[in-house]
Structure formats: structure tokens, C-alpha cells
């Protein structure tokens, strides 16, 4: 299985206290993508994760994928599972995996990063992808 480009859009952002930050995790050039468990880490003194929304890539053929999220703001982490339904093929192409919606609760510079990113194809082989980082500066 080949390498896939995964990144946050935007990769850097500035915000003010009380503001909202929206980061979309995108994947480019996937082939036969079937599932992706993810772990997200952030600084709970600066950011609060309000919601995680499924992107369009895993549903690009009209099939609704399995999607679950567990947000633990006190710990500054979230677990996300995105998977195609059993018996359906993987998807290919580029697009959004998930969108993270943060509330700014403190000042400072911080990062949002993936602590886990496992992209698998329909044969359960791992597609290699470097976990991206997004930089956030709160003024």
C-alpha cells in the first residue's frame, strides 16, 4: 500500500479568546480507503473541542460510513473511528476525513496533533501517512 498525504486545513491559525477554530483533516490520493481510527491531542488550557463532524471522503460514493467520537476535554484528547460498512468497497480520491470544531478558552501558542492515525484499505492493509500537526496562536 502506498503513502497518503494527510494534513490539517488550515495548518496554522490565529484566534482570539472566546473565538472558534475549525480544522479539517484532509487526505489526498487515497486508494481503497476503508477505515481510520484516529486519536487527537490538544491543550485543554487553550482549546475545548466542541464537536467532531464526519467529512465527505468516506461517503463519496453515497454509502454512509460508521462514525463515532469520544471527546475528553479534561484530558485534552479525543478518539475518532471512521469506517466503511462491512461488505462495501473502500473509497479512492481526496477529501475531508473529519472536521474538528474548537472553542478558544485560553491564551497562548499550542498545537493540535494526531496521536494515532491508522488508514486501512479494504484488505486491512495499512496505508502509510505521517500524522499532521496544526499550530494555533491565541492572542
- Parent domain of 68: 5-121
pLDDT tops 70 at residue 127? yes
Query: Mean pLDDT over residues 3-21, rounded?
Result: 94
Whether the predicted pLDDT of 2 surpasses 60: no
pLDDT the model gives residue 1: 46
C-alpha 106/C-alpha 26 separation (Å) is 26
pLDDT mean over 72-83: 97
CATH number at residue 81: 2.60.40.680
- The pLDDT value given to residue 114: 95
1-10, 20-29, 50-59: range with lowest mean pLDDT: 1-10
Q: What is the mean pLDDT of the chain?
A: 94
Can you give the pTM of this predicted structure?
0.94
Residue 127 lies in a domain: no
* Number of domains into which the chain is organized: 1
DSSP string across 92-134: EEEEEEEEEEEEE-S-EEEEEEEEEE-EEETT-PEEB-PPPEE
Amino acid at each position: 500500500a502506498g503513502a497518503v498525504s494527510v494534513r490539517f486545513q488550515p495548518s496554522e491559525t490565529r484566534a482570539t479568546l472566546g473565538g472558534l477554530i475549525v480544522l479539517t483533516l484532509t487526505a489526498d490520493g487515497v486508494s481503497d480507503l476503508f477505515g481510520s481510527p484516529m486519536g487527537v491531542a490538544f491543550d485543554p488550557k487553550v482549546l475545548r473541542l466542541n464537536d467532531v463532524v464526519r467529512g465527505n471522503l468516506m461517503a463519496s460514493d453515497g454509502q454512509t460510513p460508521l462514525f463515532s467520537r469520544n471527546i475528553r476535554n479534561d484530558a485534552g484528547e479525543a478518539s475518532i473511528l471512521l469506517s466503511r460498512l462491512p461488505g462495501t468497497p473502500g473509497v479512492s480520491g481526496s477529501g475531508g476525513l473529519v472536521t474538528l470544531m474548537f472553542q478558544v478558552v485560553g491564551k497562548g501558542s499550542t498545537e493540535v496533533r494526531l496521536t494515532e492515525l491508522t488508514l486501512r484499505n479494504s484488505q486491512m492493509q495499512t496505508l502509510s501517512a505521517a500524522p499532521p500537526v496544526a499550530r494555533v496562536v491565541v492572542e
